[in-house]
Chain A
Amino acid sequence: MTLTQEKTLAARVRADFPILHQAIHGKPLVYLDNAASSQKPLAVLDALRHYYQNDNANVHRGVHTLSSRATDGYEGARDKVAAFVNAAHREEIIYTRNATEAINLVAYAWGMSTLQRGDEIILSVMEHHANLIPWQFVAQKTGAVLRFVELTGTQDFDLDHYRSLVSDKTKLVSVVHASNMLGCINPVEDIVAIAHQYGAKVLIDACQSVPHSVVDVQALDCDWLVASGHKMCAPTGIGFLYGKKELLRSMPPFMGGGEMIADVFFDQATYADIPHRFEAGTPAIGEAIALGAAVDYLMAIGMDKIHAYEQELTAYLFQQLNAISEVKIYGPQPDAGVTNRVGLAAFTTGAVHPHDLSTILDQAGIAIRAGHHCTQPLHRHLGAQSTARASVYFYNTREEIDTFITALKEAIEFFGGIFG
């Protein structure tokens, strides 16, 4: 394995992330909680500040210069996001607060108005609560039925089981692209193609894939795709929904208010065309502009480079974790080129409970996640109450993984001594 590319990329970008250069409990911060939220580069922080310092005004309504600048920035960022996921049309990108809101938008606007008793919604057992609860709401309200794709023996998405579930009753398939707990990358092209044979729509939760690799909505042919900005170097409070143009046009509004209207009377209203139909109220303008800056930043590095670098880092992370006998990692082992999973490892260590481990690692400056990672049913399914999770991004280094592994071994020894 070559170190050259890895060192070059991490060395090149780390100076862009001021937050990484601090001590936690007297130790250099090692941030390995990227699957929960990424850190933000200066380019994004600067864009946010520049907007509020120079251009701040409400969008779309004003005639004055600041409003015009704010609108240009806000709509310009939409073009950037559209290009980032290769949407065919800019109006196919709807800004939301995050992926959760984007899924809820589809669930309420499309699901509640379209689905009927007996219709089937296919999810997988690995879905994040955000891609489960909204569909529970829809099922409770409409009488639609939820079906769940199981895992294979290697804890991958079971495509055969999926095939056996899809039928003429299937109206929606909503699945995660890359699992935030198992780390597996799901065969979404196949999932979409099979669903479409039966006329079912497909929503892809791309929160763990869009920040780390090239995601092309036209190549996937998905009907909707959702992602959160804060996991891809952008601020919190901004995310997006991609939807095919005609499908979005066919959907009734989600929330009512300003911005989403065409003509309003006391007793009724007509609605704006997409994308504004789904963007009621003053949006997160500065955050949207900063999302555009994040896209610029990621694209300047190159998503292919980011992906390749993270593949190397992931291989190293697994090599090191696999060497510790007490560690049990969930999800598939990485294949030779690490093409089958993203850069996270959810694991247990036997003696050390994930929360105790997280506290101990925090004392060593290392940030990992502990808990059920908003996948409680999956944890129950796997017989794990909670897991610890380390997740990397392109600014992490091999040395940081070494620091993490050393501290992990010490924690296991600390608890193991008592248990031995």
Chain B
Amino acid sequence: MSLDNMRDLYQQVILERYKKPRNKGKTDPADRYQKGHNPSCGDTIELTLKINGDRIEDVKFEGEGCAIAISSADLMAEALRGRTLTEAAEMVQRFQSMMKGEAEFPQEFRKLNAMRGVAQFPVRIKCANLSWHTLKAAIENSTPQPVGFVTNE
């Protein structure tokens, strides 16, 4: 089988983060709390953010999903720490552009570029986007209560 093709998609970092995500749990306090899901596949995520002023101090997630969804959420959580909400909103834009094959992240966020290969698998883009889509809602909804589920389908 052409597992070599698969190594472009399932890079080592993706498999590692799927196996042992580093940012699972809930932030304390949870200043922002948002749930997201992909109804057609059943993947779910609960994202919590600890915020100081306009700066994100901590990000955690709970959820179930495939290797793409979980590793994407885990890498996202790490990259967001210490960023402002405005910067985070720009990163959402950039990630979604990367999923269209149109952009990538600069050096300081290079780990996120591990998700670049997903752009070649259109049906899986929603898996990678789930956490970012949920983040977008968390940024826009400034209450610590989720406004239902968001979906990117």
Contact = CB atoms under 8 A, between A and B. Distances in A.
Interface stretch (B4-12, B52-60, B134-142): B4-12
Nearest to B70: A353
Interface in B46-83: 64-68
A359 B9 contact: yes
Contacts of A371: 40-42
Nearest to B41: A371
A388 to B, nearest CB: 11
A355 B124 contact: yes
Interface string B113-125: 0000000010110
Contacts of A385: 42-44, 64-65
A155 to B, nearest CB: 19
B91 interface: no
B72 to A, nearest CB: 13
Contacts, number: 65
A251 interface: no
A410 B15 contact: no
A178 B12 CA distance: 41
Contacts of B18: 418
A364 interface: yes
B42 A376 contact: yes
A139 interface: no
B42 A360 contact: no
Most buried by B among A353, A360, A372, A386: A353
A364 B1 contact: yes
B16 interface: yes
A26 interface: yes
Nearest to A380: B42
B73 to A, nearest CB: 13
A385 B41 CA distance: 9
Given A353-B65, A371-B42, A379-B42, A415 B2 contact: no
A360 B6 contact: yes
Contacts of A266: none
Interface in A7-32: 25-27
Interface in A386-413: 386, 406-407, 410
B150 to A, nearest CB: 18
Interface string A365-393: 00000111000100100000110000000
Interface of B: 1-3, 5-6, 9-10, 12, 15-16, 18-19, 40-44, 64-68, 121, 123-124, 127
Interface of A: 25-27, 353-356, 359-360, 363-364, 370-372, 376, 379, 385-386, 406-407, 410, 414-415, 418-419
Given A25-B5, A414-B10, A418-B12, 9 more contacts: A353-B66, A356-B68, A359-B123, A360-B1, A371-B40, A385-B64, A386-B41, A406-B1, A410-B3
